[in-house]
Amino acid sequence: MPFPNFSDKYRETPLLNGKNFWEYRKKMGRYPEIDPPKGVIFTFQPKLMDYIIKNYRVKKIENVIREFYLFEKSQGNIGICGNFGIGAPSAAILLEELSSFGVKWFISVGTAGALQKDLTLGNIVVCDRAIRDEGTSYHYIPGEKYSLPSQGLNNKIIETIEQMGLEYTSGTSWTTDAPFRETIKEIEHYKEEGVLTVDMEASAVFSVAYALKVDAGAIFTISDYLGERDWKPYFHLTDEHLQTLFKIAINTLTSI
């Protein structure tokens, strides 16, 4: 059986989309009284969201979606969204809704597992392509192995990192919906292929953004190591590294 069940469904017209969502919110009197920001940062770790709220001048915006803030210094041009869950479906729904609101630029920041031995805790990894081992992206674009970030935005992220004097690595990530089904055979295969990391959202974020004609990029920091026979988690040591990713994202969007 093909996947999705209707293999060419990305060509078809959906019954509803993000615009329908906002029309419904308007009818219910739950539409935000702001202009859409030009860019939004996605965060998946609650502790990073807490840090941003405590250390930056932000304004909480009601009637948007999930937990949404605008950065006061950006004159309403940059927002941040967090505490909406993890995984490709959550990120895709959020991107649909925000792009329909009028947002054009998206940067996803979060953790990823290392597949290569030369990656170390705290490394900055710019994802330049993602292996589509999740289900969401196939509902949006044709079934190919990789999805790609927006090249212009990705270049801008790298330019920002270099201007900040930070070291980074750029490469491929393996995106999967099932972290507890990352099998030994797959890990061995992707290591040999040179894949740097494993994550849960990038390929869907890139694919949905491409389908909706908006721009998206993703930056990771290393949180755990996947060996062929063992797993070494260090999620508890990633707070400062995630904060660095956030600074890269805000500097990137500020410069656009």
**CATH number for the domain harbouring residue 199:** 3.40.50.1580
On whether residue 173 sits in a domain, the answer given is yes
pLDDT of residue 18 exceeding 70, the answer is yes
Total count of domains within the chain: 1
On whether residue 114 sits in a domain, the answer given is yes
Go through 153-178 and write b for each residue having 16 or more CB atoms within 10 A of its CB, e for each that does not. bbebbbebbeeeeeeebebbbbbbee
On whether residue 239 sits in a domain, the answer given is yes
What are the residues whose beta carbons fall under 8 Å from the beta carbon of 116, sequence distance 6 or more? Answer: 191, 194, 195, 196
Contact between 173 and 114 under an 8 Å Cβ cutoff? The reply is no
- Higher pLDDT: 201 or 63? It is 201
How confident is the model over 226-235, as a mean pLDDT? 90
How confident is the model over 82-104, as a mean pLDDT? 95
pLDDT of residue 65 exceeding 90, the answer is no
How confident is the model over 191-209, as a mean pLDDT? 98
Q: Domain range holding 38?
A: 18-255
Is the pTM higher than 0.75? The answer reads yes
On whether residue 5 sits in a domain, the answer given is no
Token pair, residue 168, equals 């980074």
On whether residue 2 sits in a domain, the answer given is no
Q: Which of 222, 229, 226, 228 is nearest to 245 (CA)?
A: 222
pLDDT of residue 94 exceeding 90, the answer is yes
Mean pLDDT of the chain: 95
pLDDT tens profile 112-170: 999 999 999 999 999 999 999 999 999 999 999 999 999 999 999 999 999 999 999 99
Q: Compute the distance between CA of residue 68 and CA of residue 62 in angstroms, rounded to an integer.
A: 8
On whether residue 227 sits in a domain, the answer given is yes
pLDDT of residue 1 exceeding 70, the answer is no
Predicted local distance difference test score (pLDDT) of residue 248:
98
How confident is the model over 174-203, as a mean pLDDT? 97
Q: Compute the distance between CA of residue 118 and CA of residue 109 in angstroms, rounded to an integer.
A: 21
On whether residue 179 sits in a domain, the answer given is yes
Predicted local distance difference test score (pLDDT) of residue 33:
85
How confident is the model over 193-217, as a mean pLDDT? 98
On whether residue 221 sits in a domain, the answer given is yes
